[in-house]
Amino acid sequence: KQEVTQIPAALSVPEGENLVLNCSFTDSAIYNLQWFRQDPGKGLTSLLLIQSSQREQTSGRLNASLDKSSGRSTLYIAASQPGDSATYLCAVRANSNSGYALNFGKGTSLLVTP
């Protein structure tokens, strides 16, 4: 069974810092990996999607990398802002013969202080 781990579980940084969130998974036979943001009491917002054949994806101040062979992904947030405060979830989708559902990590709770 695919296990997804996110480190750290919580992180507090001052505004303006660059930061890295880590995600690891046990089975490298993935179809894609997706990073989500979840605000308290809200749904999941897709941030970045990386296909298994890709190494990284960028959107604005966010950059996600994927090293499938080592079972790792990182989410890099540049010049953090208080509005970035949220929980960040990493999820992997297995290859199609295991279904299209996502396996989630438990998230990293980020607080950016002014």
- What pairs with residue 24 in β-bridges? 5, 72
- Among 11, 13, 19, 49, which residue sits at the site for other proteins (rule: CB under 8 A)? 49
- Among 93, 108, 110, 112, which residue sits at the site for other proteins (rule: CB under 8 A)? 93
79-93 per-residue burial string, b: 16 or more CB within 10 A, e: under 16 = ebeeebbbbbbbbbb
State the minimum distance, in angstroms, from the CB of residue 15 to other proteins. Answer: 28
Token digits of residue 47? 């941030």
Q: Are 38 and 87 in contact (CB under 8 A)?
A: yes
Q: Closer CB to other proteins, residue 43 or residue 83?
A: 43
State the minimum distance, in angstroms, from the CB of residue 19 to other proteins. Answer: 21
23 lines the binding site for other proteins (CB under 8 A)? no
Q: Are 83 and 16 in contact (CB under 8 A)?
A: no
What's the rounded Cα separation, in Å, for the pair 79 and 14?
10
75 lines the binding site for other proteins (CB under 8 A)? no
State the minimum distance, in angstroms, from the CB of residue 81 to other proteins. Answer: 23
Binding site for other proteins (CB under 8 A): 31-32, 34, 36, 42-46, 49, 51, 89, 91, 93, 99-102, 104-107
